[in-house]
C-alpha cells in the first residue's frame, strides 16, 4: 500500500496497524509520489522463561518472617481512621 506524507500525518494509526498486520506500507513524497519511507513492524523480543528454583539456596528467610506483626505495625498496614480522613480531603 502507498500513502502520501499528508495521508500519513492524518492517518498514522491506521497505517501502523496495517504494517503490524504484515502489509507493506510505503510513504511517498511530492507530486511524483517518490517512495521515501517503508513502515515495517518490529518483531517483539522473545520472552525468556525464568527457570524454577533459580535462586534456590541464595535467599534465607528466618522464622521471624512468619511471626504475627506487632499491633502498631499492623495498624500502619491496615490504615486507620486518620488515614481515611486524609484521603477524603476533609
SS (H, E, C) 35-79: EEEEECCCCCCCCCCCCCCCCCCCCCCCHHHHCCCCHHHHHHHHC
Question: Is 12 among the domain residues?
Answer: yes
Please give the residue range of the domain that contains residue 24. 2-39
Q: Phi-psi category of 28—alpha, beta or left, where left has phi over 0 and alpha has psi -120 to 50? A: beta
Its pTM stands at 0.48
pLDDT tens column, 26-75? 999 988 999 999 999 998 888 888 888 888 899 998 999 999 989 888 88
Question: Is 80 among the domain residues?
Answer: no
CA angle 31, 35, 40 (to 5 degrees): 140
Report the number of distinct structural domains present in the chain: 1
Amino acid at each position: 500500500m502507498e500513502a502520501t506524507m499528508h495521508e500519513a500525518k492524518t492517518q498514522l494509526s491506521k497505517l501502523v496497524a496495517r504494517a503490524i498486520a504484515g502489509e507493506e506500507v510505503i510513504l511517498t513524497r511530492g507530486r511524483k509520489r517518490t517512495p521515501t519511507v517503508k513502515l515495517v513492524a518490529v518483531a517483539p523480543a522473545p520472552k525468556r522463561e525464568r527457570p524454577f528454583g533459580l535462586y534456590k539456596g541464595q535467599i534465607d528467610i528466618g522464622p521471624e518472617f512468619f511471626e504475627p506483626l506487632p499491633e502498631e505495625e499492623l495498624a500502619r498496614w491496615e490504615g486507620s481512621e486518620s488515614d481515611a480522613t486524609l484521603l477524603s480531603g476533609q
